[in-house]
A and B are shown apart, each in its own frame.
Chain A
Amino acid sequence: MYIGIDVGGTSTNAVLLENGLVRNFATVPSSADIITSLLEALEKIIANVSSESIERIVLSTTLITNLIAEKKYAPVGLMLIPGPGLSHEHYQYHTDTYILSGAIDYRGRETMPLIDDEIDQAINALNAKGYKNVAVVGKFSVRDNSHELKVVSRIKDLHPDWHVEMGHQVAGQLNFPRRVVSTMLACATRDKYAFFVESVQEALRSRGISGTVYILKADGGTMPLNKVTGIPIETIFSGPAASTLGVQALIPPGETSVVVDIGGTTTDLALILSGQPLLSSKGAPVYEQLTQVRALAVKSVAVGGDSLVQRVGQAIKVLPERLGPPFCLGGPMPTPTDALRVLGLIRVGDAERACEAMDMLGSPLGMSYSEVAQRIINLVVDAIVQQIKYMFTQWEQEPAYRVWEVLQKRKERPEMVVGVGGGAAGFITQIAAKLGANPVLPPYASVANAIGAAVAIPTLQVDLRADTERGYYTVEQEGYQGKIENKRFTEEDALLLAEEWLKKRASKHGLCNPVDNPEITRRDVFNLVRNWSTTGRIYDISVQTPRGIINYIGAKGGCSDA
């Protein structure tokens, strides 16, 4: 049996899946302590189940998101090696930052050496300011990590107790500023995450649960819950990923749909294109700065069931704030939920109070309560529809760097609008109508995020770049840099090497089945020609485990896709 638990801001959902069917589910209000909420929800669903039969548990939590949002972590000092390029004025990260001399180029060649005295001075300065957490990040460190390694070894000599993170290990893609932010956040969250991991493991052990435990990442993949594997910040924003995977499990495979999660004051939107959740082309943003965390493409609209509705002059406006519950549930001011109640689209709350709320807005304008209610619904629906259309256009306008990518660009529109979350029921039909799609409110929509967690599997990639002229290769996800021994290293060799690394990663991530048929998502070959003769090749190879979910809910069979 599989368990999925999503600890959200207001409520914690849990489901128990058995042979692709929902065997049990529960919702409890979230408390301040994540572990308490998690265990409370867990207890409810495993009441009549033997703990041995639980094969795996997947958690989706706001732990890291909250740590970052509330800045509840020890300060991190930065030692950066940016070299020539953009003005160093750009590197402002609201913490003590020391710029070191030194530079590496795009091929991983040193073009400017480090200066030992500068390193020592920076370490001393950080020490004087009381830093014990330091992130060391160099431009092009993913092509050659020697500068980062050298700086870190000096730090370890002087301060063996410091916690240090290196850019090339945290964020392997090209993008120095995003690498800085990612590495800084990785450094900031590592110890709290380790503490969380221990607490969860202890709690589960004491309940006799021995199934493997995973944590959900922002890209909808899982990683094993242990202290050493993976990077904690990859678990930020796993909530929207959980809901989206849940929908993926609840609707027929292969459809193009938009997931509309309407909450109290915000609506989260995500796209499923031909059955696959759409990943964001940019990393997840934190404090308005981009990171290298792979995340699903999610948009938030500042409207929800509890949004404050006010009359401004002759106009009625839905504002991006919440003053309390809807009027029909005893709240202070009119909300979209009251409008839904008036029109009979939902059945919660007091109908008379809902009408009263509409009259508060409409009587000075000479509008009936049902007219006001319809106006409010239209405002909410329009705001959401506009964002959905924008998401599709944005997806169509993603850059492309290869001829085939430009040629295969396509226009897609949703076949289904799938509502999840508390507020979805009343709005989904009208949103779908405006988009010419079918409205769907799947069963278990209220716990879709927990289902999403339960069906998530590891999404593992390997981006391998081999430079035969320089005789070395790198593996982006591992921060690994190795020699190419074979003098005649071919494209096939590069591909095999990438697949080998993918298998290594898979076993590290507890992927049960071996990686039989990895997908090759990139296979670029660059002939290096110098003075009219070929001097080597650069291979850019990306392989990944098939993306998917462990099973569709209601579909026959168990662990088939993984």
Chain B
Amino acid sequence: MPKKTGVIFFPAFDWAISPTHPEREERLLYTRDQIFEEGVMDLPQIQEFAPRLATLKDITRTHFCVPQVQNQVTEAHLIAAGSVMQLGDSVVSGEIQNGFAIVRPPGHHAMRVVHGNRGFCNINNEAILVDYLRHQHGIRKIAIVDSDVHHGDGTQDIFYHDPDVLFISFHQDGRTIYPGTGFTNELGGPGAYARTLNVPLPPGTADETFMYVLDNLVLPVVKDFQPELIINSAGQDNHYSDPLGSMRFTARAYADFTKKLKPHLAVLEGGYAIETALPYVNLTIILALAEIDYANVKEPDYVPGKFKESPEKVAQVHRMVEHLSEIWANKAKVDVSKIFGTGKHYQRNKFIYYDTDYIEEKQQEQVRMCTDCPGYLSIASHAQRGHRTSVRVYTVSIPFQACPSCQCEAYDIYERVKKQQEYDFVYLQDKLTDTYRTYAKNKGQEWITEG
């Protein structure tokens, strides 16, 4: 018998951001009803797993939580992240062929530095998984395809300079929806050029164009990248009934997408049509992963031919696909110094808004342009929350692929910035040795995150 599809269903029936927030207890209630009533968990092709907790160290491997992990996450976050890691372990060990983490809270808007909640996310479940798989199982090349209606800006931010992570996000055009980013010119940093690809789709895009983007861009690029593992950030708010998005995808299209992409892991992200979309989309994704016929699953109000796309918009998407395909095909020939300049560091300034927590953050991000490795990354961040005293932090991150001289330099910078006493907190993330340090200015103390 072929290997099974693992499912972790963690609806967090006792957790909400607030009683009326879209991220509330009710979100996966009808999904629970649908998959339990269908008896999906009893099918021989499906294996249900228990959720587990991620450790604080698993979080610090990916994020700089200000001031500490405990301030940014609840137990529900640790369970959502831990569940994704559990399925990752089971896929790598060969126990299951693929897995679906139907968990909340979601995470794809959470960036490397975390001052609070943005886009309903505090920590990035997929990014935590990637860093965990690298640390625990030595996996290097991973592709992440984000099918949420919102640009996966958190995931993009975390892997922007990582040549071994391919990040493709297709979503509703950022000019018309949160978070307002994800345009075709966001292509990754100097050391990871074209490893980030964004496909902003016009509102109203339906199944046919979705499949066009998939067949002509996503699938060929993923195949060419030759990842060891494919992850799908399975947001479901591209569905035609979603209250936040304006797209026209059906449950059937989500299933076809899953069947073609064959992700090793699908991780639920957004999707707030909790009655009209989620029960059906989640069901078809499970069935598609397990290679079970899903032709009989459909939304009660769906009739074929329900949505017509405008020819101009379709043509516009086709041109964009062609443009991005060229960028991908020619990425090795491009002179990145013409785009990013020359010098020891490449620097970019970012302004980040935390919609849930009303925080405004200014970042100055510097990546070391190194010929031997992707280079260490340092970020000076200044966050202002309403009229409270602002917080200034400085973070240094040493990637898994770092060369010894980058590692040394990064430690030197960390020590130097600590001495300057300019920042409230200084962080060092050394993924090579799995060591995570935090220095707090007001206490003059430094600590290492354990276990």
Interface, chain A (partner B; CB < 8 A):
84-90, 103, 105-107, 111-112, 139-140, 143, 174-178, 282, 290, 396-404, 406-407, 409, 524-529, 531-534, 538
Contacts and interface: CB of A to CB of B under 8 A. Distances in A.
B392 interface: no
A495 to B, nearest CB: 17
Interface size class of B (residues with CB under 8 A): 35 or more
B32 interface: yes
Contact of B14 (A111, A290, A404, A409): A404
B20 A176 contact: no
Contacts, number: 122
A402 B48 contact: no
Interface in B1-38: 8-15, 19-20, 22, 24-26, 29-30, 32-34, 36-38
B51 A400 contact: yes
B283 interface: yes
Interface in B260-318: 275, 279, 283, 287, 292-298, 300
Contact of B19 (A105, A404, A527): A527
A250 B13 CA distance: 39
B42 A178 contact: yes
Contacts of A107: 30, 275
Interface of B: 8-15, 19-20, 22, 24-26, 29-30, 32-34, 36-40, 42-43, 48-53, 74-76, 79, 243, 275, 279, 283, 287, 292-298, 300
Given A175-B42, A402-B12, A525-B25, A396 B50 contact: yes
Given A87-B293, A175-B37, A105 B300 contact: yes
B42 A290 contact: yes
Given A175-B36, A397-B49, A88 B296 contact: yes
A524 B295 contact: no
Contacts of A87: 292-296
A143 B34 CA distance: 12
B26 A106 contact: no
Contacts of B48: 399
Contacts of B38: 85-86, 139, 176
Contact of A112 (B10, B76, B300): B300
Contacts of A84: 296-298, 300
Contacts of A401: 9-13, 32
A106 B282 CA distance: 14
B26 A528 contact: yes
B20 A532 contact: yes
A188 to B, nearest CB: 20
B32 A399 contact: no
Contact of B53 (A139, A397, A406, A526): A406
Nearest to B20: A529
27 contacts: A85-B283, A85-B297, A86-B38, A86-B40, A86-B292, A87-B292, A87-B294, A112-B300, A140-B33, A143-B33, A174-B33, A175-B36, A175-B39, A399-B48, A400-B10, A400-B51, A401-B10, A401-B11, A401-B32, A403-B14, A403-B15, A409-B50, A527-B24, A528-B26, A529-B20, A529-B26, A538-B26
A290 B40 CA distance: 12
